[in-house]
Structure 1
Amino acid sequence: MRKIRNYDELVSRGDTESRTIVLDVAEATLGRLDAYNRIKAITAVEGNVLRIGTKVWDLSTKRNVYLVGAGKAANHMARAVDEVLGDKLTQGIVIVKIAEEGDVFHRTDIRVGGHPIPNEEGYAASLDILDLVEQATADDLFIAVISGGSSALMSCPVEGISLQDEMDTTDILLKSGAGIYEINAIRRHISRMNGGMLAKAIAEKGAELIGFGISDAVGTPPTGDYGVPYANYASTPIGPDKTTLADARRVIRDYALENRLPASVVNYLMNVGNEGETPKSFPHNTYYLLNTLPDSCIYAKEAAEELGVPAIILTSFLEGEAKDAGMVMSSIAREIQQYGNPVPAPCIVLSSGEVTTRIPSNSEITGTGGPGCEMTTGFSLTAPNAPGSVLFSIDSEGTDGTAMAAGGLTDSTTLARADEVNLNVHDALRGHATHELLAAVGDSVFTGNTGTNLCDLNILYVPVRSNIQ
Structure 2
Amino acid sequence: MSKIRNLDHLVGLGDAQSRKIVLSVTDRVLARLDGYERIKSIMRLDGDILTIGTRTWDLSTKRNVYLLGAGKACNHMAMAVDEVLGDRLTHGIAIVKVAEETDRFNRTTVHVGGHPIPNEVGYKASREILDLVDSSGPDDLFIAVISGGSSALMSCPIDGITLQDEMDATDVLLKSGAGIYEINAIRRHISQMNGGMLAKRIDAVGAELIGFGISDAIGTPPTTDIGVPYANYASTPIGPDRTTLADARAVIENYDLADRLPASIVTYLTNVGDEGETPKSFPRNTYFLLNTLPDSVRYAKEAAAELGLPAMIVSSFLEGESKDTGTFFASIAREIQTSGNPIAAPCVLVSAGETTTEILDNSLITGSGGPGHELVAAFAIAAASTPGAAMLSIDSEGTDGTTSAAGGLCDSTSYARAREAGVNLHAALRGHATHEALTALGDAVITGNTGTNLCDLNILYVPALDA
Q: How would you bin the TM-score normalised by the shorter chain?
A: over 0.9
- Please give the per-residue CA displacement for 1:184-214, whole angstroms capped at 9, x wherever unaligned: 0000000000000000000000000000000
Residue number in structure 2 paired with 1:430: 430
Residue number in structure 1 paired with 2:166: 166
Residue number in structure 2 paired with 1:464: 464
**Structure 1 residue 466 displacement after superposition:** 1.7
* 2:41 alignment partner, SS class: helix
* 1:287 alignment partner, SS class: strand
* 2:214 alignment partner, SS class: strand
- Please give the per-residue CA displacement for 1:53-97, whole angstroms capped at 9, x wherever unaligned: 000000000000000010000000000000000011000001000
For residues 201 and 361 of structure 1, what CA distance do their matches in structure 2 show?
39
Residue number in structure 1 paired with 2:260: 260
For residues 383 and 403 of structure 1, what CA distance do their matches in structure 2 show?
24
**Structure 1 residue 275 displacement after superposition:** 1.1
For residues 438 and 423 of structure 2, what CA distance do their matches in structure 1 show?
10
Structure 1 segment 287-306 matched on structure 2, within 5 A: 287-306=287-306
Structure 1 segment 136-215 matched on structure 2, within 5 A: 136-215=136-215
Equivalent residue letter for 1:78: A
Residue number in structure 1 paired with 2:76: 76
Equivalent residue letter for 1:292: T
For residues 237 and 361 of structure 2, what CA distance do their matches in structure 1 show?
30
For residues 466 and 331 of structure 1, what CA distance do their matches in structure 2 show?
19
**Structure 1 residue 465 displacement after superposition:** 1.4
Equivalent residue letter for 2:228: V
Residue number in structure 1 paired with 2:16: 16
Residue number in structure 2 paired with 1:372: 372
For residues 273 and 159 of structure 1, what CA distance do their matches in structure 2 show?
15
Equivalent residue letter for 2:251: V
* 1:145 alignment partner, SS class: strand
* 1:368 alignment partner, SS class: coil
- Please give the per-residue CA displacement for 1:12-56, whole angstroms capped at 9, x wherever unaligned: 010000000110111110000000000000000001000000000
For residues 376 and 82 of structure 1, what CA distance do their matches in structure 2 show?
38
Q: State percent identity of aligned pairs.
A: 71
Residue number in structure 2 paired with 1:361: 361
* 1:186 alignment partner, SS class: helix
**Structure 1 residue 233 displacement after superposition:** 0.2
Deviation above 6 Å: which 4+ runs of structure 1?
none
Equivalent residue letter for 1:100: E
Residue number in structure 1 paired with 2:248: 248
- Please give the per-residue CA displacement for 1:132-159, whole angstroms capped at 9, x wherever unaligned: 1000100000000000000000000000
Equivalent residue letter for 1:258: A
Residue number in structure 2 paired with 1:5: 5
* 1:103 alignment partner, SS class: coil
* 1:355 alignment partner, SS class: coil
Structure 1 segment 61-460 matched on structure 2, within 5 A: 61-460=61-460
* 2:338 alignment partner, SS class: helix
- Please give the per-residue CA displacement for 1:202-252, whole angstroms capped at 9, x wherever unaligned: 000000000000000111000000000000000000000000011101111
Equivalent residue letter for 1:286: T
RMSD in angstroms over aligned alpha carbons?
0.5
**Structure 1 residue 429 displacement after superposition:** 0.1
**Structure 1 residue 273 displacement after superposition:** 1.3
**Structure 1 residue 421 displacement after superposition:** 1.3
- Please give the per-residue CA displacement for 1:157-197, whole angstroms capped at 9, x wherever unaligned: 00000000000000000000001111000000000000000
- Please give the per-residue CA displacement for 1:308-332, whole angstroms capped at 9, x wherever unaligned: 1111101101100000000100001
For residues 369 and 40 of structure 1, what CA distance do their matches in structure 2 show?
34
For residues 319 and 250 of structure 2, what CA distance do their matches in structure 1 show?
20
Residue number in structure 1 paired with 2:44: 44
* 1:37 alignment partner, SS class: helix
Question: Unaligned regions of 5+ residues in structure 1, if any?
Answer: none
Corresponding pairs, count: 467
* 2:66 alignment partner, SS class: strand
**Structure 1 residue 276 displacement after superposition:** 0.7
Q: What TM-score comes out, normalization by structure 1 length?
A: 0.99
Q: What TM-score comes out, normalization by structure 2 length?
A: 1.00
**Structure 1 residue 382 displacement after superposition:** 1.1
For residues 325 and 92 of structure 2, what CA distance do their matches in structure 1 show?
41
Equivalent residue letter for 2:330: S
For residues 64 and 404 of structure 1, what CA distance do their matches in structure 2 show?
37
**Structure 1 residue 361 displacement after superposition:** 1.1
For residues 222 and 245 of structure 1, what CA distance do their matches in structure 2 show?
28
Equivalent residue letter for 2:177: G
For residues 382 and 160 of structure 1, what CA distance do their matches in structure 2 show?
49
For residues 52 and 188 of structure 1, what CA distance do their matches in structure 2 show?
29
**Structure 1 residue 274 displacement after superposition:** 1.1
For residues 93 and 316 of structure 1, what CA distance do their matches in structure 2 show?
32
**Structure 1 residue 423 displacement after superposition:** 1.2
For residues 353 and 436 of structure 2, what CA distance do their matches in structure 1 show?
24
